[in-house]
Chain A
Amino acid sequence: MAEKTRISWVQATLLLINMVTATLILVVPAITTEAARQDAWLSALVATFGGLLLAFIFTKLQQRFPRENLLQFSITILGPVLGKVVGFLYLWYFLHLAAIIIRSFGDFLVISFMPETPVWVFIIIITILAAYAVHNGLEVIARVNILFFALVILSIVIIFFLTAKDMDFTNLTPILAEGWKPVVRGSLFPLAWIGEIVIGLMILSHLANPGEIKRVYLVTTIGVGILLLQVIIGVVATFGPEYTSHLIFPGLTGTRIISIGNFIERLEALAMVMWVGGAFTKICLVYYAGVYGMAEWFRLKDPRPLVGPAGIILVFFALIIYEHFIDFLKFATVPFPMYTLTTFEGGLPLLLLVIAILRKKGGAGNVQKNPGSNDDSSASTNSRLLEPQGNK
C-alpha cells in the first residue's frame, strides 16, 4: 500500500488494549458472572491464557509477513482466489463488529444516561466522528487514543479504589464449587473480546520496528487480562455473584454506588468517559480495518473515498442489527464467541498459519531454522525487515 504510516509499539499496544478493555469491562462481568458465579475471576484468568494462545498465532502470522496486512498475506498464502474469499470474510467480520459496537455505544448512552434521545442520534454522531478519524489515518487514531487511554485507565483505577470500601471479598468464595466447567463457559465471552486483537493484523504492518510485534501482542493480552481481572473482582466483590448477573452494566452500577463521606457521589460520568473513550477507539479501529481492507480487496490505491460509503453502511447496519439490548446480550453469551472464535479469531488465522508453514510462505524461514532467535536479536529483526520487499 502506498501509505507510509508508521506507529510505535506503545501506540499500537495502547490502541489494542483500549479497543478491547473499555467496552469489555462494562458488559462482560455480568455475562461471565452469570455462567461462572463467584469464580468469574478465574474465568478472566482462563480467558487471558486463551488470549495468549491467540496472540501467539497472530504473532507468528504477522512475523512471517511483517509489512503486509491480513488481506495481503492471506492472498500470499492462499493464492488470489481463496485469499480473496478469506479477505471477504474478514471484511464482513470488521463491518459486523463495527456495527455491533456502534449500536451498543448508542444503547449504553440511551439506557443509562439519555433515555429520551433516540439511538440513531448517537449512532450517526459517533460514525461521523469515527469517519473523520479514519479519513485522517492510523497515526491520528493512535495519537488521539493515547489521550483517551489515559482517561479510560484513570477512570478504571479511580472507580476501583472508590468502590473498595464496598467490597466484600468473601463474595469470591467458595472457589470452584461447581468445578471448571462453568469457569470455562464463562471465559468464552471475554476470550472472544480479547480475540478482537486479530484487528492488530490490520495495523501492525505499520509498526515502525517489526521486531516488536511479539511485544505488542504480549503486553496487550496481559494488560487486558489484568484490567479484566481487576474489574471482575471489583464488581463481584461489591455486588455478590447473584446481583451482578442481574445487572446489564455492572461496571456502571459500580460507579453509581460510590459514596465517600457523603460528598464524593454520583460519579457515573467516569463510567461514561470510560465507555465513550474506549468505544470511540474501538469503532475507529474496526472501521479503519474495514475501510482499508476493502481498499485492499478492490485494489484501490487510495482508501479514502470508501470512508463515506462504509460509514453509511455502518449506520444502517447498526440500526437494524438487533432490536433490543437483551437480544445483543443473548447473542453475545454463546453464539457470538462460538462464531468469532471458531472462524475469525481462532480458526482462520490458525489455518493461515498452518498453510503458510506448509507452503513455506513468508519471511519466517530463518525463524524456523533457529527457534532460539525468536527473542528478537537485532540481526534477525533486520533480516525480517528486509524480507518482505523480496516477497513483493
Chain B
Amino acid sequence: MIVLLLLTPGCWSRKEINDLAVILAVGLDQEPQSNQLRLTLQIAKPKSLTAGTKQAGFGPGQKPTWIISGTGDTIFEATRNLATESSRDLYWGHTILLVMGDRLARDGVNQVLDFFARAQQPREIMWIMVTRGKAEDILRSHAELESTPAQRIGFLIRSKTGLTVNLKDFVTMMTKTGINPAAPEVGLATVGLSELKKLPGPDNDEKGDQGNRKNEMPPQAKLTGTALFREAKLVGWLDRKETRGLLWLKGEATKGIITIPCPNHPKEKLSVDIMRGSTEITPSIARGKPVFTIKIKMEGDLKEVHCPLPLGEPATIHHLEKEFARDMEERVRGTFYKIQKQYAVDVIGLGNHFYRRYPQEWKILAPRWEKVFPEVGVEFQVQTSIIHSGFLTEPLEPWK
C-alpha cells in the first residue's frame, strides 16, 4: 500500500498551470503561394487578464492576449514550429473559437477539422466560423467590452443572433446524409463610437492629429452572416437578413424582430418581437419527385407601434398577424431561393428529412441529390400569432 501511495499520486504527463500557454482562439489560413497552412493562435496572458482588466484592450503594451503565427503542412506541424517560439507549452483545452479564412474554406475544411476532432485537448464545443479574408485579422481585432476578442466572439455567438455551430455540430452536419454544413461568418467592423469627438476648429497641429487617430475605434469582430458549404468546401455566403431566414428554416434560434408597415398607414411601421416558434418539414412524393412542406409557426409580441391602430379589436390583431406572416414568408422564400437556386446547397437538411421518411427512395436519390435539390418543390406555410401587445392597448395619441 505504501508503494502504491508513493506511485499513484504522481502524474506522468502533469503540467502545471503556469507552464501552459492557454490558447483562446485559433485562426487557420492558407498561404497564397505555398498552399501551406498558416496557424494563428491567440494566447491568454494570465497576468494582464487578471490584474489589468481595467486597461484591457488599451494600447499595445497591456493587451491581454498574445498572438503568434506559424506555418506548416499540417496543423500539428505548425504547432511544432510555434512551440519553438512560445516559452510555454501550448494548451488547447480552453480554445473557444476556430476561425477559418475563406481561401482555406474554399479548399475544404475536413482535413483541418480532423486535428481538432482527433486530438485530445481541443474540445468538440469550440465554435467554428469562417471569415472573408484572413482569420489572422479576426484574432488580432479589438474587443471593447470583453477582455479578449475570443471571448467577445464567444459571447456574440451565444446571444444566438446568428447560426451557432460548434465543432461537433459541424462534423455532424458534414457526415450526416442529406445535409450540407453551414457556419457563421465573422467579419471586422468599426463598431461603437469613439468617446472623444473630433472637435471642429483650427486645431491642426501634429499633436491633435495624432490624438484623433488614436481615438478612432479599432475594428472589432462582428457576426456578419452565414457561410455555406457543399461537402466540406465553402461555396457561398448569406447576409444577416438571409441568415435570419435560414434560422427559421432550420427551426433553430427563433428570436428576432420583424418590422412591417402599418396596415392603414403604409409609411408608418410597427415592430413585432418573435418570442418562440417551431419549424416542421414534411417530405412527400408527388409524381415521382420529392416535395416538401415547410410549416413555420411563430409567436410574437407587439413591441412598438407608430401609427394609430384600433388594437383593442381582435380583427386588427388578426390582420397584423397576416401581415406578419406574409413578411416572414417573403424573407424565408428569399433565403430559400438563394440556397436552392443560387448555391444549390441543402443546408436545411431537406434531404435528411426525406431520407428519414422514405429511406428506400432516398437510396436512389442520394447520389444525385445535388442535382435534384435545386428542382424540388417547396410549399411554405407560415402561421403567426401575436400574443401580447405590451402595456398599452391602442397607441398613444396627442389631444386634438
Q: Interface on A for B, CB 8 Å cutoff?
A: 111-118, 121, 125, 128-129, 132, 166, 170-171, 173-174, 177-178, 238-240, 242-243, 246, 253, 256-257, 259, 262, 265-266
Closest-CB distance, A240 to chain B (whole angstroms)? 5
The reply to whether B125 and A174 contact each other, CB–CB distance below 8 Å, is no
Supposing A116-B12, A121-B12, A125-B8 touch, asked if A257 and B124 sit within 8 A by C-beta, the answer is yes
Q: Provide the residues of chain B in CB contact with A262, threshold 8 Å.
A: 158
The reply to whether B175 and A246 contact each other, CB–CB distance below 8 Å, is yes
What's the Cα separation between A177 and B11 when bound, in Å?
A: 48
The reply to whether B124 and A253 contact each other, CB–CB distance below 8 Å, is yes
The reply to whether B125 and A116 contact each other, CB–CB distance below 8 Å, is no
List 10 tightest A-B contacts by C-beta distance, closest first: A177-B359, A116-B13, A117-B12, A242-B175, A174-B359, A173-B356, A240-B172, A174-B356, A240-B176, A114-B13
What's the Cα separation between A39 and B123 when bound, in Å?
A: 27
What's the Cα separation between A117 and B93 when bound, in Å?
A: 18
Q: Provide the residues of chain B in CB contact with A114, threshold 8 Å.
A: 11-13
Q: Is there a chain A Cβ closer than 8 Å to B199's Cβ? A: no
What's the Cα separation between A253 and B172 when bound, in Å?
A: 13
Q: Provide the residues of chain A in CB contact with B166, threshold 8 Å.
A: 257
Q: Provide the residues of chain A in CB contact with B356, threshold 8 Å.
A: 170, 173-174
Between A and B, 6 residue pairs with Cβ closer than 8 Å are: A114-B13, A125-B8, A174-B359, A242-B177, A243-B168, A266-B93
The reply to whether A174 and B357 contact each other, CB–CB distance below 8 Å, is yes
Supposing A174-B355, A242-B177 touch, asked if A128 and B4 sit within 8 A by C-beta, the answer is yes
Q: Provide the residues of chain B in CB contact with A246, threshold 8 Å.
A: 175
What's the Cα separation between A111 and B120 when bound, in Å?
A: 7
Q: Provide the residues of chain B in CB contact with A177, threshold 8 Å.
A: 355, 359-360
What's the Cα separation between A26 and B375 when bound, in Å?
A: 43
The reply to whether A125 and B7 contact each other, CB–CB distance below 8 Å, is yes
What's the Cα separation between A383 and B168 when bound, in Å?
A: 59
What's the Cα separation between A121 and B12 when bound, in Å?
A: 9
Closest-CB distance, B342 to chain A (whole angstroms)? 27
Taking chain A's interface residues, is the majority helix, strand, or loop, or is none over half, making it mixed? helix
Closest-CB distance, B208 to chain A (whole angstroms)? 44
Q: Provide the residues of chain B in CB contact with A178, threshold 8 Å.
A: 359
The reply to whether A257 and B123 contact each other, CB–CB distance below 8 Å, is yes
What's the Cα separation between A126 and B121 when bound, in Å?
A: 25
Q: Is there a chain A Cβ closer than 8 Å to B258's Cβ? A: no
* B: interface residue count bin: 20 to 34
Question: Which chain B residues numbered 88 to 116 have a C-beta less than 8 Å away from chain A?
Answer: 93
Q: Provide the residues of chain A in CB contact with B124, threshold 8 Å.
A: 253, 256-257
Q: Is there a chain A Cβ closer than 8 Å to B171's Cβ? A: yes
Q: Provide the residues of chain B in CB contact with A113, threshold 8 Å.
A: 120
Q: Provide the residues of chain B in CB contact with A259, threshold 8 Å.
A: 125
The reply to whether A257 and B125 contact each other, CB–CB distance below 8 Å, is yes
Supposing A246-B175, A256-B124, A265-B125 touch, asked if A239 and B357 sit within 8 A by C-beta, the answer is no
Supposing A125-B7, A177-B359, A256-B125 touch, asked if A112 and B172 sit within 8 A by C-beta, the answer is no
Which of A118, A132, A239, A256 is in CB contact (< 8 Å) with B172? A239
Question: Which chain B residues numbered 357 to 375 have a C-beta less than 8 Å away from chain A?
Answer: 357, 359-360
Q: Interface 1/0s, chain B 281-293, versus A by CB < 8 A?
A: 0000000000000
Given contacts A240-B175, A256-B123, 5 further A-B contacts (CB under 8 A): A114-B13, A115-B120, A117-B13, A125-B8, A243-B172
What's the Cα separation between A327 and B1 when bound, in Å?
A: 34
The reply to whether B93 and A242 contact each other, CB–CB distance below 8 Å, is no
The reply to whether A257 and B357 contact each other, CB–CB distance below 8 Å, is no
Q: Provide the residues of chain A in CB contact with B13, threshold 8 Å.
A: 114-117
Q: Provide the residues of chain B in CB contact with A121, threshold 8 Å.
A: 12
